[in-house]
Structure 1
Amino acid sequence: MNQQLKRLPDFKQIQAVQSWYEPALELLNKLLERNKANLRRRGYSEENAAITREEFRQQLARRGRITLYLAGEIETSLYNAQMVEFMGGYIRPKVGEL
């Protein structure tokens, strides 16, 4: 799929990446909810829940059946669109997103 995206005109490549926004945010929210439940069980604050960027990219690639390169492009595009926030090696959706 990488080769296909690289041959597309710029606007088509951007559209292809942006079409992954909703599924990627849904996945991120599911992973975040899983981590919140884990913290809740252990008696810690749920506000500290976050997902490692590497785990997010790998899960997105595996569940979406896409390459890790494209998963990284989607992650970067979400950040540039200000839909997620990075905290070092961690990622989580901005407050009020999906």
Structure 2
Amino acid sequence: LQKRIPGFEEAYLLQTAPQIGVRETRRILGEYLLTAEDVLEARKFQDAIALGSYPIDVHSPTGEGTLIKHLQPGEFYSIPYRCLVPQEIEGLLVAGRPISATH
């Protein structure tokens, strides 16, 4: 970057993680559990708070490769608000990777 990107001439690496590529983390169990079927069938929800078209990509924990499942061309899915609302916890919303989803 220092040699090729203007503005990075004095940039340096401060720290790196001891392990890279951690993709599986904790998730909540929400009022709705978004499934791979929901995504691949391009389901739309009344309480949608986000839309997506990114394929499902499952990375092998043993390094054997990645399984990618695409939606039909031009399709998209929605993520319902209920995936952000944890069961049995009042006053909390969760967004990003830990939403209520199967994988």
Tell me the TM-score normalised to structure 1 length: 0.28
Q: Which structure carries more helix by proportion?
A: 1
Using CA pairs below 8 Å that are at least 6 residues apart, which structure has the higher relative contact order?
A: 2
